[in-house]
Structure 1
Amino acid sequence: MYNDISFITLFKSVEYVKKYLYERYKEAGFSSPKELAFQNSYSFVYYIELGQSYFEQGKKAPLSIKPVLFFYGLSHWLKGALLTIDPNYPATTQVLAHGVSTRKRKKQGYRFLTDEIKIQKEGFYPYVSKSLFNIKELTGEKYKMRHLIMSIPELAFLIEKFEGESILIQVNKVQNKVYAPLSLLKKMKITPRRFELMIKEKTNTIVQCIEKEENLIISYSGNNDKNNFPLYYNLNDKKYYLPSVPHLYLKIPEILSHFLLLYNLSMICRYETEWWGELLYSFSSNDRPYIQSFLDCTERKTPYLMESLFKAK
């Protein structure tokens, strides 16, 4: 189980943060990086500190309000990450709005897993996607909660238990190469060349695939924490996985799946009181175990993903 949040320990020191930001700004080619680092060091520390406060309270809070606390905790950490690449953040009020939307009123018979979230043209989420992960042209795209849940490897067991579907295949990662069994292609009924094209089309990541004996060797460039190659790391078993179904090759990295799920859940528990109460206390559907398992997972996984993101910079 991952409990280490060493990036928070380091970022409690303003002196360390000044050096950290200076290196980031200097590497990015900003003029006067030393002055910018001095100017932003306290804001950065406060973003990280507030994020930790929200998360620590979220761990202690009842399930009914956990989503709100975790959502604001992750939002503050992402704001800190933005400050490492944009010394003027927030430059306009446009980047402060959420940048995503859900159905305002839930219909009768509403199920969380079938709900969708829509990406707007401007706001915090599209700005994070573009600035931190170089993901563009997301306006109008929709993500189903089911697909976001399925993109978190620690939750794959729920899909297998409730729906009888195996959605991930274990792979081995050695530097920038992934060794996957050929059964991955057989299950998706595609060729290595079609797999390459699918990855490029769905995630904007260029990979090269070679069949060798019983393995598919997938090579990609860059740091996996900074690109969108959907290589999922499971904190529970310390192993890597690739999706065995095409619709899980999302454009977005896992940390943004956590953000979107937390956003929707935080809106539901604040504004859909009747449905949220029924979910918590009636135990009438599979929605509750999915949601509770996700919140248990994000409590541990979000700090890990954020630390990986800060280290990748």
Structure 2
Amino acid sequence: MHDIRHWRDFLHYFQSASYTQKFLRRCYRSMPGSDVKSYDNCYPFMYYLEQGEIYYKQAEDSPLSIKPILLFYGFIHFIKAVVLTTDPNYPETTTVLAHGITSRKRKKQQYRFLHDEVKIQKNGLFTHFSSLHFDLKHLEGEKYKMEDLLDQIPEMADSFSVLMKKTTMFPFTEGRLSIEENLLNHFHWTPDSFRQHHSSLPEGIHWEGQDTLSTTLRNEALPFRWNRQEGKLALPAIKNEASSLPEVLIHYAILYNLSMIARYETEWWMELLKNRTTEDYPFILAFITLTTEKGPSLLGELLENKMKQEGE
């Protein structure tokens, strides 16, 4: 099967109930009752994808004020489809129907989006998805600041550089990252300490000589991030609480918070969109523009990998 290059590329495969059931049967082949489960889940899987696409199409044609709500619900519908490939009993209990993440009460005075936080709950879709697909089982109670989450998205590096004079990424150029003086000064490392810190590298990244990291990867390999817009791997310049989160979970957390703001903090939200008095607006706009394509693409890649694993 050819690599999926656009997130809508994977949808047409699942417009056939016959194909979808065969695909799910392969996903469940090591589980008892795979025939029955694949039959039962065939249409829910197809409907999750269909509903998710509808939300994204509506978001593309909608004003910014309601985009976060539509994007978030489109995103979680795609996640539910991905979850169903691994958990044939989803949703087995009502606990997994919650979002799995909460946002704190907002202060009306001098509230800043970049300083806001979300907190991971014990149960819910975020937690279930994180455990199933990334083996992250101990996220309950973790808090993530919006700025820290955005720091870890490579396409946001220009926004941080221009608006805050902050370096957040060191990009690979033509598959190589030279360990130069500006990089070493940023981390306060010597060449030896940098190599020692990166002695254990993800598969697909290796040392080329003494001072160059080299790769042919075209996907995220933590702690390295994939810049989809530029087709480059990047080394985050900042290590924070979000450094260990796969980017798809970062999009989930930010979209959740923005959707809650758009729904329940209407006065602050509309004033932000109209007055644009802080850097919050350009950061939010840049993220919304990015996630409209990259969010579902990240989930499409998970589904594509599943199709490859199951011999599709």
Aligning the two structures, in what range does the TM-score lie when normalised by the shorter sequence? 0.7 to 0.9
SS of 1:312's partner is: helix
Give the TM-score taking structure 1 as reference length.
Answer: 0.86
> Which aligned pairs between 1:148-187 and structure 2 lie closer than 5 A?
148-171=149-172, 179-183=176-180, 184=183, 187=186
Please tell me whether the aligned partners of residues 7 and 300 of structure 2 are also in contact (alpha carbons under 8 angstroms). no
Taking the TM superposition and a 5 Å limit, the aligned residue runs for 1:58-73 are: 58-73=59-74
CA contact (8 A) 1:230 1:249 kept: no
Q: 1:9 aligns with which of 5, 12, 16?
A: 12
After superposition, what is the alpha-carbon deviation per residue over 1:97-118, rounded to whole angstroms, capped at 9, x for unaligned? 1111111233410000010111
Map 1:210-229 → 2, pairs under 5 A = 210=207, 212-216=209-213, 229=222
**Partner SS state of residue 28, structure 2:** helix
Alpha-carbon RMSD: 2.6
| Equivalent AA in structure 2 for residue 212 of structure 1 | G
Select which of 230, 244, 254 maps to 1:251: 244
Distance 2:185 2:20 in 1: 48
Residues 258, 298 of structure 1: 8 Å contact kept: yes
TM-score (norm 2): 0.87
Percent of pairs with identical residues: 39
Count of equivalent residues:
296
Report the counterpart of residue 202 of structure 1 in structure 2.
none
Q: Name 2:54's counterpart in structure 1.
A: 53
Residue segments in structure 2 that go unaligned for 5+ positions in a row: 307-312
Say yes or no: does 1:262 pair with 2:262.
no
3-state SS in 2 of match to 1:159: helix
Paired residue type of 1:22:
R
**8 Å CA contact retained: 2:102, 2:118:** yes
* Cα distance between partner residues in 2 of 1:48 and 1:263: 19
> Is residue 239 of structure 1 aligned with residue 232 of structure 2?
yes
Give 1:186 shift: 5.0
> In the alignment, what sits opposite 1:78?
79
User: 2 CA distance for matches of 1:32 and 1:101?
Assistant: 36
The 1-side partners of 2:188 and 2:27 are apart by 43
Q: Is the 8 A contact 2:17 2:42 kept in 1?
A: yes
In the TM superposition, 1:81-230 aligns within 5 A as 81-171=82-172, 179-183=176-180, 184=183, 187-190=186-189, 191=193, 192-195=195-198, 210=207, 212-216=209-213, 229-230=222-223
- Structure 1: any 5+ residue segments left out of the alignment? 200-204
Q: Which amino acid aligns with 1:216?
A: L
Structure 1 position 4, deviation (Å): 4.8
Kindly report structure 1 stretches of 4+ aligned residues shifted beyond 4 Å: 205-211, 217-220
Question: Quick check: 2:224–2:233 contact (8 Å CA) kept in 1?
Answer: yes
